[in-house]
Amino acid sequence: MSKIFDIVIAGSGPSALSLAENTAKEGLSTLIISPTLRKRWIPNYASWYSDIVSAGIEICIEETWLNPIVRTSRDSFELPFRYAKISTPQLQALLDVRCSRKGVQMLSEKVIAVQHYDDCSIVRLGDGNVRTCRVFVDATGGTSTFLRKEGSALQGYQTAYGLLMEAESATWDRGEMSLMDYRMPKNLSAEDEFSFAMLPTFLYAMPLGKNLVFLEETSLVSRAIQPKGLLKKRLHQRIDGLNIRPSRILDEEYCIIPMGGPRPDIHQQSLGFGSAAGLVHPATGYQLVYSLSLAPLVAQALRVGLEEGTPKEAVHLAWQQMWSKDQRRCWDMFQFGMDLLCSLSLEETQDFFSAFFSIPASQWKAFLSGQLHPFDVSRAMASVFLQASNSTRINLLQKATQKEGMTLFRSIFGFSYSS
């Protein structure tokens, strides 16, 4: 008779490995199944230094910057928090070693279907074999096909094109890190100026040592996936406008991050985690550190649920760790922010962020981190409204009074959020 695992996790990214490490730490037999086991992770990850430390992966920090900069055409903000870049190879090696030491088993195969029963789940694989478990977890990312979703919220996409390069010019000799630079590049044609004005993108720049810099052109969020060619063109226009002279290109990245949209149905027997569970911040695209911080809580909920109840009850308890009533309320307010950003021109986006970074730093940082009580989110949004220009206030009011804006009021006052 084949072994029945407590937990089977589909996926082999950071969220999958982090949850696997923690379920094994809780004494649950855990199997990871993925066709891309140990394949090199491509994305560059970065976040606030304090959040990375709280997630327990500070050993993977590659570089830090004390005062990241946000720039619009008329304002410049030095943010009073340390920002850090994570070494993706180190993170992958760390989580892999942690899983190995905790006894997590790994199988290089593709999950093609899952059948749930009262006491177990049957996981069907691409090679025709099956694995049996008490709880199945989908951690396959934002394009997950194993989870039901609910609601009518619209999807958005963050897209970015980046280059790791050696550069001859000394633009970043001071070690200045640019979190968001929404200024339009110099010397554009009239056609390209119009394109930037209608579809805002920003420069994200991390100096990593003498003449070494990572530059990325990012569409924060839009309804459509922005093509690689457009972002690549814009990044090179910025490079030319800043008189940066690349001497060698070391790496290239193009990433697509689904944001917002319908959340997973928390009453289903499959459990999601990471991007598959909708944990990407709808207004910023951050997810990694938040998911890693949730992994111990979700693992503990699964252990308690399996010890004291059925697999269904364990999964429901784990869903509640990710999607409590308060968290759903917050996420709906973040979704409203995402919907607003999708509708703004470059000038309107610049005005919005000038207002956003003018509110107390503790408020905007907590908003970006996504770890807030609904009252705190609504207070931050009210502060932005008071700081904003009249045109941005009108945009906010128009969006809030449209049909989809009713979700904002429902989330602020906590109406219709069942457990």
Residue 396's pLDDT is 78
Question: For residue range 93-102, what is the model confidence (pLDDT) as tens digits?
Answer: 999 999 999 9
Q: CATH topology of 4-61+84-152+262-322 equal to that of 155-259?
A: no
d(CA 91, CA 43): 11
Q: What are phi and psi of 326, to 5 degrees?
A: -65, -40
Give yes or no for a contact between 111 and 123, defined as CB atoms under 8 angstroms apart.
Answer: yes
What confidence score (pLDDT) does residue 172 get? 61
Q: What is the mean pLDDT of residues 193-221?
A: 93
Q: What's the pLDDT score for residue 170? A: 57
What local confidence, expressed as pLDDT, does residue 407 receive?
60
Other C-beta atoms closer than 10 Å to the C-beta of 43 total 15
Class of domain 4-61+84-152+262-322: alpha beta
Output the CA angle 203-350-357, nearest 5 degrees: 90
The residue-averaged pLDDT of 381-387 equals 88
Q: What is the pLDDT of residues 302-348, one digit of tens each?
A: 999 999 999 999 999 999 999 999 999 889 889 988 998 998 999 99
What is the per-residue pLDDT across 252-273, written as a single tens digit (0 to 9) for each?
999 999 999 999 999 999 999 9
Contact 163, 215 (CB under 8 A): yes
- pLDDT for 414 beyond 70: no
Beta-sheet pairing, 76-78 with 246-260:
unpaired
Reported as a pLDDT band with limits 50, 70 and 90, residue 399 is confident
Q: Decide which of 228 and 413 is more confident.
A: 228
CATH topology for 155-259?
A: Alpha-Beta Plaits (3.30.70)
- As a whole number of angstroms, the distance between CA 224 and CA 113 comes to 29
Examine the pLDDT at 83 and tell me if it is beyond 70.
yes
92 φ, ψ to 5°? Answer: -60, -45
Write the DSSP symbol of residue 299. H
Do residues 302 and 135 make contact, with C-beta atoms less than 8 angstroms apart?
Answer: yes
pLDDT tens-place string over residues 125-173: 999 999 999 999 999 998 888 999 988 888 999 999 999 999 876 566 5
Write the CB contacts of 152 (distance below 8 Å, at least 6 apart in sequence). Answer: 262
What is the domain partition of the chain in residue ranges? 4-61+84-152+262-322, 155-259, 326-413
Instruction: Give the helix ranges, DSSP H, for 69-205.
Output: 88-101, 190-198
CA-wise closest residue to 339 among 152, 193, 159, 184: 152
